[in-house]
Copies of this chain bind each other. A is one copy, B any other.
Amino acid sequence: MANYLPIIILVEPQLAENVGMAARAMMNCGLPDMRLVRPREDHVGAKAIAASSNAEEILCQATLFETVEDAVADLNFVVATTARHRDQTKPVLSAEFAALKMNELCKNKQKCGILFGPERTGLTNHDVCLADAIINIPLNPKHCSLNLSQAVLLVGYEIFKTQVQQQNEELITNHSTITTRNKVIRFCEYIEEKMADCGNFKTEERRDKLVTNLRNIFMRNQLTEQELNTLYGVINHLIRR
């Protein structure tokens, strides 16, 4: 049985382009299931398909509903996206926490859905009261109006992030391994030696300082074997000249 994933529910979307772009954002975030409540324009027409940029299959497989009640009927957990504070007593979840929560629920085979309102007006109070919670997307409070597809993207991005183990930092290399400390030390010594050959050190103190600086420079940037060879090449070229 396939993994459960949160379902994106667009309530009365006005523009076919926005539905298409929302499908593209869903594809970016690995979310295949779209539900549409009374879309104003054709969601499988040329405009929507063009805007979806290769996410046509999401549009073609989208299911249509007459009411929001019908669209959430089989779901176990529903969140509503809304920028405005509502006159309702309702938990407000950060987008990140909502994503974690839905991820856990989906693992336990609970069906989750996220409601997005029409472009101009957003979700009505009637729509919001069908949800377990409201998602709050942290954005500049003075300028938090988002395009529909961008709201889908941000929520989808948080959901995708809960599903991947990502490294904070990794080094990509050109198929060459990172050198050992030993090789970097030897390279620094090689420079020192060549500079001494040229009689460049006026005082021993000055030499010590240079040695420290050189080591700090080259130790810091995780040189690859290949890069170290390049640097040897540069030094040798300079000496010959």
Contact = CB atoms under 8 A, between A and B. Distances in A.
A138 B153 contact: no
Interface residues of A, number: 55
Q: Which of A30, A146, A172 has the most CB of B within 10 A?
A: A172
B169 A94 contact: yes
B143 A160 contact: no
Interface stretch (A21-29, A40-48, A109-117, A203-211): A21-29
A13 B144 CA distance: 24
Interface in A124-176: 133-134, 136-140, 143-147, 149-150, 153-154, 157, 160-161, 164, 166-174, 176
A92 interface: yes
A169 B86 CA distance: 16
A54 B142 CA distance: 11
Contacts of A176: 89
Contacts of A168: 93-94, 96-97
19 contacts: A21-B147, A24-B147, A27-B140, A27-B143, A29-B140, A53-B145, A86-B172, A88-B172, A88-B174, A89-B172, A90-B171, A91-B170, A92-B169, A94-B169, A96-B161, A97-B169, A136-B166, A140-B160, A153-B154
A55 interface: yes
